[in-house]
Amino acid sequence: MDSIGEQFIDQTKHSHLGPSDQSLGKPNPPIQLEFNETQPIIKLPKPSEIETDPVELRRIIEQRKSVRNYSAGALTIEQLSYLLWCTQGVKAVVQGITTLRNVPSAGARHAFETYLLINNVDGITPGLYRFLSLDHGLISISLDKYISDKVTKACYNQTFIKSSAVTFIWTAVPYRMNWRYGERGYRYLFLDAGHVCQNLYLSAESINCGACAIAAYSDDELNQILGLDGKEQFVIYLATVGMKG
């Protein structure tokens, strides 16, 4: 019998796909998940107003590496805004049904939501937040003083999570992708996660920060912490960021 991975590759081949929900005329899923609109939004500095030092792309690519040791320095809110803009910032909304962003995505489906475990960002209380890409702002999910411990435990006690300034937690909303591509869309989710994380590495390097991707975590435990069902939305990738020592 084929392994689970081999079955996944086989069953998501184009030859196994039926008509997509898009081709059947079903409505486009929302480009951003709902949130409590009575909840205050922490507005981030506008990307157009953030100044960064000029950098040479080749140097940034060559210097890029995973960094797990960070200084005690805090990120500024401008730096956080810049990193969010580079990874999931919305450049345009097209006909209310899709977005153009700073990372590639299959069919411009952009099926991710971004959560942040903030430990050390100037002006923001430590806790768990969600990034609202259409508003370029944050809403609070949990200010539990033990939330950093819980996320670290769910990531098999990779302690550099607690010493980072912020940990990016990307979640996938599969129907946003599968509406167009059916079951094959699951493949594209993981490809898109790589695009997003690489942008984080490069943008972090450009402001003298280090980043480290994390793929080792308890799916069920981390989904539970974020209040996700694990099917209609689930954690797909994480990465820490902090000031270099």
C-alpha atoms less than 13 angstroms from C-alpha of 36 in its C-beta half-sphere: 7
Q: How many other C-beta atoms can be found within 10 angstroms of the C-beta atom of residue 224?
A: 14
Share of the chain above pLDDT 70, in %: 100
Cβ–Cβ under 8 Å, residues 197 and 237: yes
What pLDDT score was predicted for residue 67? 97
What pLDDT score was predicted for residue 202? 98
Nearest CA to 102 out of 187, 214, 203, 235 is that of: 203
What pTM was computed for the model?
0.97
Report the pLDDT averaged over residues 100-106: 98
Tell me how far apart the alpha carbons of residues 30 and 125 are, in angstroms, rounded to a whole number.
29
The string of pLDDT tens digits covering residues 139-179 is 999 999 999 999 999 999 999 999 999 999 999 999 999 99
User: Is the pLDDT reported for residue 1 higher than 80?
Assistant: no
Fill in the amino acid letter for 50: I
Tell me how far apart the alpha carbons of residues 3 and 113 are, in angstroms, rounded to a whole number.
30
| CATH architecture of the domain covering 40-47+54-243 | 3-Layer(aba) Sandwich (3.40)
User: Is the pLDDT reported for residue 245 higher than 90?
Assistant: no
The residue extents of the domains of the chain are 40-47+54-243
User: Is the pLDDT reported for residue 138 higher than 80?
Assistant: yes
* Beta strand pairing call for 137-142 and 127-132: antiparallel
Q: 124: which residues sit within 8 A by CB, 6+ positions away?
A: 42, 77, 80, 118, 138
Strand (E) or helix (H) holding 78: helix 77-88
Q: Is 156 exposed, middle or buried (0-12, 13-18, 19+ CB in 10 A)?
A: exposed
Tell me how far apart the alpha carbons of residues 44 and 211 are, in angstroms, rounded to a whole number.
21
Q: Report in angstroms the alpha-carbon separations of 243 from 48, 52, 75, 167, 205.
A: 23, 15, 7, 12, 10
The string of pLDDT tens digits covering residues 8-53 is 999 999 999 999 999 999 999 999 999 999 999 999 999 999 999 9
Judged by DSSP in three states, 237 sits in: strand
Residues present in the chain in total: 245
Tell me how far apart the alpha carbons of residues 73 and 121 are, in angstroms, rounded to a whole number.
9
**61 alpha carbon, distance to own chain's centre:** 21
Can you read off the two tokens belonging to residue 205?
């390097």
Q: Is 19 exposed, middle or buried (0-12, 13-18, 19+ CB in 10 A)?
A: exposed
User: Is the pLDDT reported for residue 234 higher than 80?
Assistant: yes
